Structure formats: structure tokens, C-alpha cells
Amino acid sequence: MNVKQLLRCICASTLLAAHVAGAEDAPAAASPPADTVFISKSAPFLDEGLIAKNIIEECGLPESQIKLLREKAEKSGVSLSENEAAVAGMTGKVLALETTNAISSGNAFVGHRKQVAVRGKLFDNGAEIGNFLAIRNSMGGIGAGFIGSCAVLYRCQGAIAEDILKWLKNPIKDARLGDQ
């Protein structure tokens, strides 16, 4: 072996040893806390045929329900994690949500009627441990004539998110949440 080959071998060995040592010192990827509840990226419509076309096209309710739930979870101390693989495999605690209904009728002159209904099931490694139906209604509130329909529906979803987070702290079967 000549000097050049020997130096290459020493350099390669040194780099490999440094890499292995660095890998041992590197922290492991953080795993979610044991009480984390896995959710999907949306709460899809159970049947789009039941929902007005303008709501489907303009409001994005399936995604906004999850967004509001995640935002409020941080403040309520509930650990949620979007994880499609865990949801599909029913691995760990999984909250499956679907939007069963959304109504947006009325106007500033005759009054508004808005409603969102969400059904959820909580699973622990595939076994159902609780379920609910959550419904929230709104007539728009003060200044409703100046608030868009989607914004009022989002308010309903925000209230539903708070209801779900309270329920997750003590899940039961056949719970009725919200305005019912």
C-alpha cells in the first residue's frame, strides 16, 4: 500500500468514525406524548348531496373544522396530531370526524339560520371507546347582516371544536354535544 492509499484509508476511517459518533449523540426523533389523539386532515361531509352547493364551494368546512380543533386544542391542553397513517391503521387513539350537515339560510332582512353538525368516534387501537353528535346553531348575532355566511358557519365550528375538546377529556358513548 502506498502513502496515498494509506492517507485515503485513514481519512475515510476518521470520517466514518466521526459520523458514527455523531449519530450516537444525535437525539432520537421526538415521538408524540402517550395521550396524543390522532386526527385526519379534514372532517369530510357524510353526504355532499345534503349540503348546499355554495357551502361546499365557498366555505371549506371539512378542513376548517380540523384547523379550528387544532388551534383550540393547544389552548385547552389536549394533544392532537394530524397523522393519516395512524388514522388509517387505527393506531393509538384516533378521533374520526365527519360533517353530517351544514345549513346556511336566511339573510339580513329575514334573519339568518346557520347550523353545523359533526359526528365523531374515538378509537383506542381500533376499539371504539366513545362517540358523539355535535350540533351548533347560529342566527348570526349582532351585525349579522355584515358577516358572511361562511364566517358564521366557522363560529359554529369553533363552538363544536370546544365541545369536542371538553368531551375528549371524558369521552362517553352516544354523547350529544352543543345545541341539543
Domains defined along the chain, listed by start? 33-178 (3.40.50.10610)
Lowest mean pLDDT among 48-57, 69-78, 83-92, 104-113: 104-113
What pLDDT band is residue 106 in, cutting at 50, 70 and 90? confident
How high is the pLDDT of residue 143? 57
How high is the pLDDT of residue 25? 42
Lowest mean pLDDT among 14-23, 83-92, 125-134: 14-23
The pTM of this model reads 0.79
Beta carbons of 137 and 113 less than 8 angstroms apart? yes
Residue 26 vs residues 13, 29, 30, 176: alpha-carbon distances, Å: 20, 9, 12, 47
Beta carbons of 169 and 141 less than 8 angstroms apart? no
Q: What is the pLDDT of residues 62-97, one digit of tens each?
A: 999 999 999 999 899 999 999 999 999 999 999 999
pLDDT higher than threshold 70 for residue 10: no
Type of residue at 8: R
| E strand or H helix at 12 | helix 3-25
| E strand or H helix at 101 | strand 93-107
Type of residue at 65: Q
Lowest mean pLDDT among 21-35, 107-121, 150-164: 21-35
Residue 132 vs residues 15, 36, 59, 70, 121: alpha-carbon distances, Å: 57, 19, 24, 18, 7
pLDDT higher than threshold 70 for residue 180: yes
